[in-house]
Structure 1
């Protein structure tokens, strides 16, 4: 049976990680197993004393509209080659989702090596990864300057340099402001987030630069890579940065786990005149029984909430009995019927499934997802 590993047992998974993810450098794996293992959970299947399959649940504090939720990012999803196609991953994912449901986690997300692995489990893409570049090299002759917080090849332990105590907190506040102005879903930055990011960059001989202009912080840019250097991030105002053409490949998949929690971030569109609308929603989720079936979904202009409809009270709808008569859910009509993956893609603002139809003119999905974390 799948089991959550204790801190000592989590270290036993390193051999499997290095065998499956051989592209990761030794220094990056050192970083991961010394830093990320401090607060994550590892679900694994052990047979004959050997870990045969695993998945790692790395927690992030995410901004989702006006809400702040602790959500798991799934990484390190792996099965030994000789054990593949025997249902190990299904056992892990279904056990994980059942545990998340008891915790009322609103959703989880991952960066898939292959989307086909996760589609049968209700995951769907919610985010396309944009690629940014500085508008021109002469931006720096026009008043933009760099201050290096982490330098390639150096120890990099003094993360509050340059300048003063609390510098990372100042950078985190700038990043949150930049993100909040553009997106509704993103990982909240703080000093701990920045310290961990700098350690991650350092593991791949990275650099992290603060871009400055005459007004103060104007952006941030980071590169990493031992064998091949690539840009890890670029956050800057539109006057300094632009999105590269043909960027925006699908990057992050997600799955709603607890819909009655998630919909708190959803509300009516501004153009809807009514103060409240009610949708009888039939949600198809064969993997999480608590989600499957009929819900009564209430929406106003601030938020929404859902309640299970074990029975429904009809209102003269065809094939649903007499007006005012209680019927079983199976006999009751609904306004909207969607699969959990369709529901997820729609409410994250990624796509509008055909099944949603005219309800997209009533319900305001989230606007803008930005999840560029690696692990």
Structure 2
């Protein structure tokens, strides 16, 4: 058995496994395009007797965290031939990938799970949710005459999307930092329309990405910087009322309050656990994190359970200064010596902001005295998470 990156001659092998595992078929044209964009160094495979048995893709990405950029390893395309399943091959790949990300300085890893319980075993945990709305035309927001203009499908406006997205996405932890290549190949396509709202002063203040399909508006992204831009874009959408029966909004952040703002809030709403996240290197992540400063510096002993990243597993001395700067030093000791005990998945969602320490203590996902739990509540700032992409 050999674990290694694929080489340029193994495109067909990777496509064959991917098509079989995910049950799709590439056309000749799509396969040619895929080969042009093939990056074998991003695909890790397990080979047995020279044959590819299992693989995954490791994407070098960046995400927003507390207003700064953090390196993240995105895991995608985890697949195995059926005759090779339940032999621990994916477990070996994930462990190897954790080591690879750690060596590369990627302190976080995200993935979209085919089965949440499976990846929880390896330390990944749900870190964000996404909402979907289905709104009939009769329940659209009221049309409002907003000063400014909405420009549709103007090619020169595309450069504004990145600036608006960057501003909007920075409000959340875990949103992707999009490269030009990501915009071109993972966000925009020939079926996607875009509309940008400009204020009377000529400033771009919001955009939507959408398509028209079977007399329905499919809204893939709705980004706005203020209430005027939100109202203007909704008025633009409502002006399709003679063409469509309704709208479906996808990838809506979990803190969105659109239903409350509708004349009739009784619309179909779905809330889905979405991506999973994992801290790859606890020391590096915690020491780069901005905690809330308290009146005085304090420290406690933290025991982290992480069987698949041994550099995280064990007892740590955790100090946070009155300025919110943290230090994490590994020390000798057992689980019972920890003032606070939690697993790496719980630590991840606490620091990303998806869940709070008190609720995790209440359900047994962390243990500690009331005093220690309150300390965590005090030093971890309230934050919100989101992700508008898929990989």
Q: Shared fold (TM-score greater than 0.5)? A: yes
- Tell me if 1:371 matches 2:387: yes
Deviation at 1:30, TM superposition (A): 4.9
Find the residue that maps to 2:273 and give its secondary structure. strand
What CA distance in whole angstroms lies between the structure 2 residues aligned with 1:27 and 1:229? 31
Which of 327, 339, 345 aligns to 2:349? It is 345
In the alignment, structure 1 segments of 5+ residues that lack a partner are 150-160, 311-328
Which residue does the alignment assign to 2:306?
285
TM-score where L is the length of structure 1: 0.77
Which residue does the alignment assign to 1:222?
209
The 5 A counterparts of 1:212-361 are: 212-215=198-201, 216-223=203-210, 230-236=218-224, 237-238=226-227, 239-240=230-231, 243-244=258-259, 246-269=269-292, 272-274=294-296, 276-300=297-321, 301-310=323-332, 329-330=333-334, 333-351=337-355, 352=357, 353-354=360-361, 355=366, 357-361=373-377
What CA distance in whole angstroms lies between the structure 2 residues aligned with 1:336 and 1:24? 50
Aligned CA distance change for structure 1 residues 123 and 296 (closer, same or farther; 3 Å): same
Which residue does the alignment assign to 1:210?
196
- Tell me if 1:185 matches 2:174: yes
Aligned CA distance change for structure 1 residues 34 and 206 (closer, same or farther; 3 Å): farther
Deviations 1:195-239 (Å, cap 9, x if unpaired)?
33455x33xx33333344535323222236989984322212444
Find the residue that maps to 2:175 and give its secondary structure. strand
TM-score where L is the length of structure 2: 0.74
Find the residue that maps to 2:383 and give its secondary structure. coil
What CA distance in whole angstroms lies between the structure 2 residues aligned with 1:213 and 1:127? 32
Question: Is the Cα–Cα contact under 8 Å of residues 164 and 223 in structure 2 kept in the other structure?
Answer: no
In the alignment, structure 2 segments of 5+ residues that lack a partner are 235-256, 260-267, 368-372
The 5 A counterparts of 1:4-153 are: 4-10=5-11, 12-22=13-23, 26=27, 30=31, 33=34, 37-38=38-39, 41-131=42-132, 136=140, 139=143, 142=146, 145-149=149-153
Aligned CA distance change for structure 1 residues 194 and 65 (closer, same or farther; 3 Å): same
Question: Is the Cα–Cα contact under 8 Å of residues 73 and 110 in structure 1 kept in the other structure?
Answer: yes
Question: Is the Cα–Cα contact under 8 Å of residues 72 and 107 in structure 2 kept in the other structure?
Answer: yes
Question: Is the Cα–Cα contact under 8 Å of residues 10 and 42 in structure 1 kept in the other structure?
Answer: no
Question: Is the Cα–Cα contact under 8 Å of residues 267 and 303 in structure 1 kept in the other structure?
Answer: yes
What CA distance in whole angstroms lies between the structure 1 residues aligned with 2:220 and 2:91? 32
Aligned CA distance change for structure 1 residues 26 and 75 (closer, same or farther; 3 Å): farther
Question: Is the Cα–Cα contact under 8 Å of residues 95 and 308 in structure 2 kept in the other structure?
Answer: yes
